[in-house]
Chain A
């Protein structure tokens, strides 16, 4: 099975071909967004980090920005810096150049204000887009897919239809030699013993349990029942009563494959196959983490109808809730209500998702892309804002 992708010089394959306009710090977001709004063929990445944080988080911001810039859906990069942030710009540039990727930086303090920086950034971006547009899509095997797995705005239908179906899809991609990344460690709580059965080694099992312990301790450290936050108010309205119930439905997305690697947030895996990544369940942070890890496509299951997409990675929405399919149809890509009705099997539903993923990877737009609902992004940090 093939899809039509953009072959990058460094070996990865893109499903999109954007010029990334990447803000290096929260304070440069306006300029980055303005450049992207003006120049067709660009995608902005803006976030709330990059300054007044402890070193552990600054290191993470540096790494995640490099990861995002090196995502195969990005042809070249304009970094937008204020000029006084903690983000290490030289390090970020070096990390992008290491891939042989064209990167330029515009610094607001040096150029002198927003208007002039926007103008200069636009001129660079226009040249980059023009050059990027020369690249044509070519047939690529589905082993070149790196699929991000996500569920959000879940209800009980999520664990019954779209999540197990996506598990089948994930297995099909993994068996074909591709990669699939499961994050949302919060949603391992209460189901980690089942997930650990899929770990390839004891070492990976311990790593998964350690991530769960850290995530649970963080939730417990505030001294209250996390219910209402996890599961969310919407999850509860949808019939999910506890985090354990939500988790048992959520891990079905990972299918039956063996876990080959367990990665830190936003880090590109070194192995193919099923990978677990440390991350919370909230949309902006996990979508960003999956993109920074190199995912060229994301499959996102939802019960109540999550509309969020990401600036430069297509996010395919899958629901099994017939009410959501009708009411939120402008945001949903795949309807699996037949699974709930008992007229479509989970394996067939998984194949249906794979077909959509191949079409989307080849250029078919997602509902999130056509509706412009693509700004769900932020870097997950663990320390305080100081």
Chain B
């Protein structure tokens, strides 16, 4: 089975690209032995993440079945998920100081 992207846990709302994927491409996404398809609305580099469904602002981002941060803006399915639209919930000295 050749897949273009992988979902690591069924709870995840993001998938990881296994090759450079261009905007508008239809990709095969693997989760264990199952496979789904999706059209990507942005170019996603190898190793980067994209949303599997609509993610609301402040909603947790789930990868490996675990929380890796939260959305800082609404993210539509098929969009790139990275530092521009999600943030860490840990080690945040900027939040702690009330800024």
* Chain A residues close to B by CB (< 8 Å): 155-157, 159-160, 189-191, 194, 216, 219-227, 230, 236, 238-239, 241-245, 248-249, 303, 321, 323, 340, 342
Contact = CB atoms under 8 A, between A and B. Distances in A.
Given A156-B47, A190-B66, A223-B94, 11 more contacts: A190-B90, A191-B66, A216-B90, A223-B93, A230-B91, A236-B83, A239-B82, A241-B86, A242-B89, A243-B90, A244-B68
Q: Which among B45, B47, B87 has the highest number of chain A CB atoms within 10 Å? A: B47
B11 interface: no
A160 B61 CA distance: 18
A242 B69 contact: yes
A152 to B, nearest CB: 16
B45 A239 contact: yes
A245 B94 contact: no
Contact of A245 (B1, B17, B68, B93): B68
B93 A220 contact: yes
Given A219-B93, A225-B92, A244-B89, A190 B82 contact: no
B92 A194 contact: no
B57 interface: no
A151 B1 CA distance: 29
23 contacts: A160-B6, A160-B8, A189-B90, A190-B68, A219-B93, A221-B93, A223-B93, A224-B94, A227-B83, A230-B91, A239-B16, A239-B45, A239-B47, A239-B48, A239-B82, A241-B68, A241-B82, A241-B88, A244-B69, A244-B90, A248-B63, A342-B1, A342-B3
Contacts of B94: 223-225
A189 B97 CA distance: 19
Contacts of B89: 190, 242, 244
Q: How large, as a class, is the contact surface on chain B?
A: 35 or more
Interface of B: 1-3, 6, 8, 16-18, 30, 45-49, 61, 63-64, 66-69, 81-83, 86-97, 99
B66 A323 contact: no
Contact of B63 (A220, A230, A245): A245
Q: Quick one: which of A226, A241, A243 has the most chain B CB within 10 A? A: A241
Given A190-B68, A248-B68, A242 B86 contact: yes
Given A190-B67, A224-B94, A227-B88, A160 B46 contact: no
Contact of B91 (A160, A220, A245, A340): A220
A156 B69 CA distance: 15
Contacts of B96: 220, 223
B91 A241 contact: no
A83 to B, nearest CB: 41
B48 to A, nearest CB: 4
Contact of A241 (B2, B64, B83, B90): B83
A221 B96 CA distance: 9
Nearest to B3: A342
